[in-house]
């Protein structure tokens, strides 16, 4: 059995890994709120374990081994299933479920996690649109584009939104920027200016900062009535 602290490390490394599959010590320290020296010590310990959960090289960051990646995805699966269960079954709002799932993700058994999945109808995503890893550790593949990269006038559907900032989630919900909502970018000013968008079936517009737009992922769709 791994401790919750170790599972938090593995999940953070998975979340922070870039295209090369590596995460920096400083990024992990910021994510977990732990001193960099303490992070380095833990990474060395995880690399020496049997099995080894990570591959760590000084000044080159850390990557997950196959065992480490599978455990990180298992924790992530439990986390996102809990979020879905809290919202769909217990009536929690989407800005409340992330913190609760952080506290519960290490406590539930494999059996309970799979019972929750069956009860929910094996959902593919959490309330924020984040994909739920499969029981076999596979992550669903998606073709997505950042909201910040959408051209003006191109319709798209919200795929997923950042899930940790409860005040941001409340703002997005008020303006209808939720998974499966169809929207269009009306204008993009110079770098630093917000995007002005409109959600389909509403007349209201809202401003989305570049920082937020760089975290919201979209599915591109064809304009209604256009040729396939």
Q: Which CATH superfamily is domain 145-220 in?
A: Ferrous iron transport protein A (FeoA) (2.30.30.90)
Cα–Cα distance measured from residue 188 to residue 100, given in angstroms and rounded to the nearest whole number:
36
In the prediction, which pLDDT does 228 show?
Answer: 42
How much is the pLDDT for 137?
Answer: 85
* C-alpha–C-alpha distance, residues 84 and 100, integer Å: 11
Domain ranges of the chain: 4-64, 145-220
CA 189 to chain centre: 27
Look up tokens 């009535």; give the residue: 225
Question: Rounded CA gap, 10 and 65, in Å?
Answer: 10
Best CA proximity match to 123, nearest among 82, 170, 169? 82
Question: Whole-prediction pTM value?
Answer: 0.89
pLDDT in tens, 145-182: 999 999 999 889 999 999 989 999 999 999 899 999 99
Q: What are phi and psi of 58, to 5 degrees?
A: -55, 135
Inter-residue contact 77 to 124 (CB < 8 Å): no
Task: Give me the pLDDT at residue 68, please.
Answer: 95
- Please, what sign has the CA dihedral across residues 66, 24, 39, 164? negative
The pLDDT score that the predictor gives to residue 227 is 45
Please, which residues bridge with residue 62 across strands?
23, 56
Identify the helix (H) or strand (E) that includes residue 6. Answer: helix 4-16
- Which residue in 10, 169, 31 sits closest to 78, CA to CA? 10
Query: For residue 184, what are its two tokens?
Result: 């269009």
Domains 4-64 and 145-220 are alike in CATH topology: no
Per-residue pLDDT, 226: 52
Look-up of token digits 């709002």: 93
For residue 78, the model assigns a pLDDT of 97
| pLDDT in 10s for each residue of the chain, 228 residues | 789 999 999 999 999 997 778 999 999 999 999 999 999 999 999 999 899 999 998 888 899 999 999 999 999 999 999 999 999 999 999 999 999 999 999 999 999 999 999 999 999 999 999 999 998 888 888 889 999 999 999 889 999 999 989 999 999 999 899 999 999 999 987 777 899 999 987 778 889 999 899 999 999 887 665 544
Residues 100/41, Cβ–Cβ less than 8 Å: no
Amino acid 191: pLDDT: 72
Cβ density class 106-139: b for 16+ within 10 Å, e for less: bebeeeebbebbeeeeebebbbbbbbbbeeeeee
Q: Distance between CA 182 and CA 169 in Å, rounded?
A: 17
For the domain made up of 4-64, give the CATH fold.
Answer: Arc Repressor Mutant, subunit A (1.10.10)
Residue 157 φ/ψ, nearest 5 degrees: -115, 135
């Amino acid at each position: 059995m791994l401790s919750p602290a170790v599972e938090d490390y593995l999940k953070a490394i998975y979340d922070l890994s870039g295209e090369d599959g590596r995460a920096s010590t400083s990024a992990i320290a910021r994510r977990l709120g732990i001193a960099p020296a303490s992070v380095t010590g833990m990474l060395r310990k995880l690399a020496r374990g049997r099995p080894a959960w990570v591959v760590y090289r000084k000044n080159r960051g850390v990557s997950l081994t196959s065992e480490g990646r599978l455990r990180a995805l298992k924790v992530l699966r439990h986390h996102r299933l809990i979020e879905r269960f809290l919202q769909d079954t217990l009536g929690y709002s989407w800005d409340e479920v992330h913190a609760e799932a952080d506290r519960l993700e290490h406590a539930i058994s494999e059996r309970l996690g799979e019972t929750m999945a069956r009860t929910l109808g094996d959902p593919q995503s959490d309330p924020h649109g984040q994909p739920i890893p499969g029981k076999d550790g596979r992550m669903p593949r998606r073709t997505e584009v950042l909201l910040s990269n959408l051209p003006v006038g191109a319709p798209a559907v919200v795929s997923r939104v950042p899930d940790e900032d409860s005040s941001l989630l409340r703002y997005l919900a008020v303006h209808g920027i939720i998974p499966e909502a169809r929207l269009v970018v009306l204008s993009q000013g110079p770098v630093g200016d917000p995007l002005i968008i409109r959600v389909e079936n509403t007349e209201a517009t809202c401003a989305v900062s570049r920082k937020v737009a760089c975290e919201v992922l979209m599915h591109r769709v064809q304009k209604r009535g256009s040729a396939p």
